[in-house]
Structure 1
Amino acid sequence: METAYRLLTELGPLSAADLREKLRAEGFSQMVERLAQAPDRFPHRFRLTSDGLLAIASHDATGGEENTPPVEREHWYRPTGLPRLQPDEVGVLDIETTGLDRHSDSIWEIALVRLDGEVLLHTLVDLPPGSRHPAPDVTGPTVAIRDALAQLDDCFVGLRLILGHNLLAFDKPFVIAEAQRAGISAPRFPLCADTLHLSLLTDVAIPNRSLDDLCLAYELPREALHRALDDATATAALARTLVQSVDVEDASWQLTMGLLHEQVTVSVTRPDWPVWS
């Protein structure tokens, strides 16, 4: 949104469609609908004029005089103190399973990539005897589930955050259930977060939030659907896009980050809280 703000500063109010074309000329791609939401998402930076054009919020509707900034309450926000993560400290996990029930279905494929898409692990997993493979055309070497989970545990070393799409409700509990069935310790997950939740923070207006829907909404390419490596790579691209859409100068985002920090702190002392683990 920085380029959009600069263009509106230089050119004055524009329609969302005209602003999109100006952005395209500078090598940026944004949907008209997303640009039209800018005054709602970033009210301190953008506004709508009386005739429905996008303008920067520092100009009033009559003549471009800057508004007096609101007085902020001192100490309203306490910095989190959390160290910044480097991209190579973030992993993105995806699994493929024979069904949705972690108590009776099985994992048949696991993939872990770094945030930049570098592949850390991609393995096919043996299925229990008599299990019906959901992708019978997939061929290649397979390993026992206990070996696959041991490899995953090794790959977690050096990572400080694991991302995934629906990771907290599906992938992570499924991995833990498989480890319990195999009679081994579960992989030692670092702090985990979910791109499904992040998408709710960055844009509440998107109606559907499956990985395919979000990739379509953000114009991200998709390869083979419902394969672990391709889904992990797509989730990494989605995470990068969502993070890039965060305006850290927006006071509401600073408050959100503070609240998330409090949630992380609480989860350390209250492991029964499900949001972070």
Structure 2
Amino acid sequence: MQKTSYQKELLIKATQQRKGLNNNKKDIEKIQSWLNLFAIQNPNAGTATGIDGDFGPATEKAVLNFQKFNGLSQTGTVDQKVFDALTAPLKKAFEDPVPGNNLRELILSTAKNHLKNHPFELVINNQSNTGPWVRSYMDGHEGSDWFWCMGFVQAIIDQAAAVQGKNFKTLMPLTYSCDTVGVTGIQKKILTRYQAARTNPALIKPGDVFLIQKTTNDWFHTGIVTAVNGDLIETIEGNTNSDGSHNGNAVMNRIRNYKQSKIDFFSIESLVA
């Protein structure tokens, strides 16, 4: 795999605890981030707390609640074993084996595996597009300016291609820009424009990348096509929400009408071959 920043998100330097001599602000922020991510999926767990890098009484109580909720020893401290429990969704998303007889199937399985582990961004220090999931997709980058839909797409393709010993960068350059991938598709003659896709839906295949046009050579959102049904495509996409925003907060399975939107399609066929 080329995109391995997620590995840093799975580790802390030392046990973190209230008034701990080895406390590290970045590690505490990681812990607080995961406590909040856990609270999003388990709102009755009592693990939501501030993300400020200070292991105070509120963070200690949130840790105790996490440990109680998961049947762990209630110590109020976070060693690597407890942190492993906190970060289990990320590890599962990036490291669980996925089924597939070919690259397209592997891409779909990988995207679905990430989806079921609930990737979600956080707001830290008044900055959206932050947190461990965003950093994992964006090679350590985060913050309001770092839209992460393409980072998600490339992480999925990279992970799936690596199963077959392939390098996704032979298909497209490492980038966070929809425009860069769109232009690459034009140059390689593997970008199906929306007009052609509307006329011939057979040109759209599961595993391909959709790109929503702003103007002819300007795209602002992307994701993975998982199915084509009549006028509709099903997708898995990052940095979106229920309204289909290009700057939402989660990975979601969405349905889009490609005949009513200017959606171009980047083919992964050359990497499949």
TM-score computed with the length of structure 1 as normaliser: 0.24
**TM-score normalised according to structure 2 size:** 0.25
Higher Cα Rg, which structure:
1
